[in-house]
Structure 1
Amino acid sequence: MPARPAPVLVVGSATVDVTSFSQRLPQPGETLLGDSFSLVMGGKGANQAVAAARAGAQARFVGCVGEDMFAPVVRDGLGEAGVDLTHLRTVPGQTGVAHIRVDGAGENDIVMVPLANSALSTAQIDEALDDDAGVLLTQLETPLPETLHAIRAAHEQGLTVVLDPAPAAELDPAIWPLLDVVTPNETEAALLTGMPVRDREGAVRAGRWFLARGTRAALITLAGAGSVLVTAQEVHEIPPHPVTVVDSTAAGDAFAGFLAAALADGEDLPSAVRRAGAAGALAVTRRGASPSIPSADEAQRMLDEEVPA
């Protein structure tokens, strides 16, 4: 009987996503009539935990919710996806909220208000790291000192450390050698490296910037143009999956969660990136954040359909 994959530990944010859909976004001072509205669980951390669970991993989430009416939305959303909630802490105050606007082309803008997410603690992280996880997946929507603590502690314990550096922020240079994989999109890569990232060549240059600072692998995602994986040995160009974009919210989270799950299952990095790319592509074809994240079978079918007969 094959060994069960090592768990994926996701340290990150949890919110309720309040999303409006309209043909275009309003100009400053303008009021528009929208087409529809949704209120669901979100937050980069929670979305990525759901994605890892739907990909088949043992996903464990470390984060915080408040004591308000929104907390059950987060707990139920994570629990229904099969995420372990042992390290989800309830704190005084309000659960985090993200206000999302999506236009007719599927593009979005987001204002995220952390609220309970600001209460994440190092003690909470250390307690979770006592478990037998194989991969740490984290982002930058929670307090930076605690996020960096999680990265350092996970590295010291021998976990594979994956950082989705979103929203992009200036980081202590000492953090780069602690990362096995960093996964910025083109905008985040440009902000972190200080160099333009508009195409494959720019992505390769940015990837080598991360490697020069000690990161083992850099994966630069280029939205509809696919992604570029840069390691010390080679550069892999992963082509995009042709899909019709409905809503790009949480596509990056689907990508990150599936990537972490594949690594925890022992897949090599290029193969894990291809699986993650299929999940991200499927997510943009559906409305919403966590509701758009596909299952492992759906991602596998997309990969199978692209294999020549």
Structure 2
Amino acid sequence: MIVVFGSVNVDLVARVDRFPHAGETVTGSDHVVAAGGKGANQALAARRMGADVTFIGATGTDAFADLALAHLRRDGVDLRHVAVVEGATGLAFITVDGYAENQIVLSPGANGRLKAAALDAVAVKPNDVLLVQGEVSMTETEKALAWGRERGMRRLLNLAPAVPVSSRLLSHVDILIVNEAELRQVAERVGASGSAASAAEQLASELGLGVVVTLGALGAIAHVDGEVARSPGFPVTPVDTTGAGDAFVGAFAAALDASRPVMEAVRLGCAAGSLACLKAGAQPSLPTRQEVERVLTEPAAS
């Protein structure tokens, strides 16, 4: 089982030819209202890859709350421990430009009141997976990681966005998952430098944990338990990259939960991330296990 402790939002996505400069207004061609939040996205991504997933998050009492959980509920994510707090559900304001790049502004809402104590109601076993991110309180996230460590869970931290974290928090982490920009911010604290592969190796050695770095269209590289695993990306013409990182993390976590090797987990993550670029919005774009496996067989069939 995978337990995801993290954020749940509603995403308001507008497409523009280019991002505005400071003080400028640009007109978008269309917009999408969709469920999102890194915690919820990754929970759904793992569920669509076949994992049993329990989500721990918080919504508000506004009209966005039901929409925020709609995909998770439909796909069978366990939502029994999601808190409802007075006030607004989290919102993300996202613009996507003509190159399928995005800019995001977060309004945390109920996510700012999520407590790790909610985990106490969840029954877990050793080697279950705990997955956390950087969108909720890092104080509560550290408590969640310590909770998972006490129970012998495998603990994954996707440090997105790359907020400051303490050495104590990182001591509770088994595998750190970051993109290149996030890698640089974390690597600076231990003086790691060089290429992404070199910085990841140094970071893994200095901090004594596994490090996985996503490289966008170039794929991903992992240094985990002394093993180096690398997968190229899968060529696609992107429509929207918003959910790609979450698709990778969810698929990677699901593969580990199924006791698949790290190399396989990285490759599954890359395939899922590539597929997520083909649709607008975060959760609507997350692929199923069947879609990912179909992509994995195509090179061999060609």
User: Which band: TM-score by shorter chain?
Assistant: over 0.9
**Residue 288 of structure 2: aligned partner:** 295
Secondary structure of 2:221 counterpart: strand
**Residue 4 of structure 1: aligned partner:** none
**What displacement does 1:125 show?**
2.2
Cα shift readout 1:171-212 (whole Å, capped 9, x = no counterpart): 1112333222111100000011116878xx333323321332
**Residue 236 of structure 2: aligned partner:** 243
Q: 1:64 aligns with which of 41, 58, 62?
A: 58
C-alpha contact 1:227 1:237 (8 A) present in aligned 2: yes
**Residue 231 of structure 1: aligned partner:** 224
1:203 aligns with 2:201: no
Farther off after superposition, 248-257 or 177-186: 177-186
Cα shift readout 1:235-277 (whole Å, capped 9, x = no counterpart): 2221111111111101100111111111111101111111111
Farther off after superposition, 97-106 or 233-242: 233-242
Within a 5 Å distance, the mapping from 1:121-132 to structure 2 comes to 121-128=115-122, 130-132=123-125
**What displacement does 1:291 show?**
0.3
Cα shift readout 1:57-97 (whole Å, capped 9, x = no counterpart): 11110000000000010122210121110111111000000
**Residue 170 of structure 2: aligned partner:** 176
Counterpart CA distance in 1 for 2:279 and 2:160 is 22
1:148 aligns with 2:180: no
Matched to 2:226, the amino acid is: Q
Distance 1:306 1:249, change over 3 A: same
Unaligned runs of 5+ residues in structure 2 are none
Counterpart CA distance in 1 for 2:192 and 2:232 is 20
Q: 2:160 aligns with which of 142, 148, 166?
A: 166
Unaligned runs of 5+ residues in structure 1 are 1-6
**Residue 70 of structure 2: aligned partner:** 76
Distance 1:197 1:240, change over 3 A: farther
CA RMSD after TM alignment: 1.6
Report the TM-score when normalising by structure 1: 0.92
Matched to 2:75, the amino acid is: A
Report the TM-score when normalising by structure 2: 0.94
Within a 5 Å distance, the mapping from 1:1-309 to structure 2 comes to 7-128=1-122, 130-132=123-125, 134-194=128-188, 201-215=195-209, 217-307=210-300
Aligned length: 299
Counterpart CA distance in 2 for 1:204 and 1:87 is 40
**What displacement does 1:232 show?**
4.7
Counterpart CA distance in 2 for 1:89 and 1:182 is 27
Identity fraction in percent: 38
